[in-house]
Amino acid sequence: MNYSVNDRLSKLIFIELKDLTVLKKINSNLYKKLEGKEVLFPVDLKMVTDKENPKRSDLTMDKFFVGMLLCIGGNEEFIYNVYYEEIILDFDSSQEFYKGYIYSLIQKNELFEAYIMLKGLSKIYFNDEYKEKLIVVLFNLKDKSDFLNYEFKLQIEDAIKNYRNFNKAYLYKSMMERDDGNYILALESIDTYIKKSNDGENEEIKNYRKQLISYKNYEDGKEKIYSSPKEALEKLIPLTDIFNNDALLYYYIAIACRKLEMYEQAIYYLECSRKIDIDIVEVVNEIGLNYASLNMYDKAINYFETVFKVTNAVEVCTNIIMCYFKLNEIEKMNKYFNIARSINKDDEVLKELENFILGMR
């Protein structure tokens, strides 16, 4: 789908109303202001060509209303917007029409058009109802394009800044930060929402907050795998009850176990990972590293060679070389030395391994 505001606005046709009698009935002051001026009024071509609309050929006010609102929501700088806004505000009963029309758009999954119209309504009527509907629609559109993702974030920040009583803006901000992987900021926002709305006893909100804490612990644990593996395990192992179908979680736990020289436990978690996803080569390589650490080089080689067939990586090749060296299988070791040199003879680990083995002979 083409998520282009300009493309949607191109479906409008602009006409000059020679007879402003209808406008005179709506707003006599505006009628006088526009009399003699060349103000163009938008008609929604989509409504004119809609075969399901029995009055599609009639030049009715609803076609003007939709056209005007699309202009306001789609192009804030459009020269006639100030007149369109006055007409819409004077025709206050039209709000019920807009709500019904936007609801029908949402039902038909025409969310992009609903977004433009809700943006227009939010500009004309400064209230929480339209702002929240706009944010919800954008939440469902934000992954469609960078522009819509930016719009989603912009509307949330605007709601926080300018809609002081719209506490739900912090809930949406929390969801935005969560989706961006900023779990600390997501927690701060949900805590602000709970504080401002007194919604702390809501089970759905409590579960959402617990979920955020779990995500945060997951990220914290991953970051500590190498620098503080014990802390990493304290954060990651409890998460196996929550993310029990996440193969990578077990892989991260296994790395921390290996760093703590808990090789059997590492292999256990790696096998758990493989039960979920058998195709993660990093997991297979990690099993090889743990068997090698247990001096079980025959087993380690089987895993390393499986990984090497897939990756052709020099670092895996050097692991194989070291295993064959430990097993004193010189012919096979030399074979893999030649293979490693053909991949990258300047690899630093390979050079160190060559010097080490030559020094042992």
pLDDT 10s digits, 294-343: 999 999 999 999 999 999 999 999 999 999 999 999 999 999 999 999 99
- What is the CATH number that goes with domain 227-311? 1.25.40.10
- pLDDT band of 354, cuts 50, 70, 90: confident
pLDDT 10s digits, 181-193: 999 999 999 999 9
281 is written with which tokens?
Answer: 């080569």
| Average pLDDT value over all residues in the chain | 88
Q: Are 44 and 69 in contact (CB under 8 A)?
A: no
Higher model confidence: residue 351 or residue 119?
Answer: 119
**pLDDT beyond 90 at 65:** no
* CB-facing half-sphere around the CA of 153: CA atoms within 13 A: 11
- pLDDT band of 30, cuts 50, 70, 90: low
Among 152, 12, 1, CA closest to 78: 12
Any idea where the domains of the chain sit in the sequence? 5-163, 167-223, 227-311, 313-361
Question: What is the pLDDT at residue 97?
Answer: 87
The neighbouring-strand residues paired with 13 are 43
How far apart are alpha carbons 283 and 273 in whole angstroms? 7
Least confident of 60-64, 135-139, 142-146: 60-64
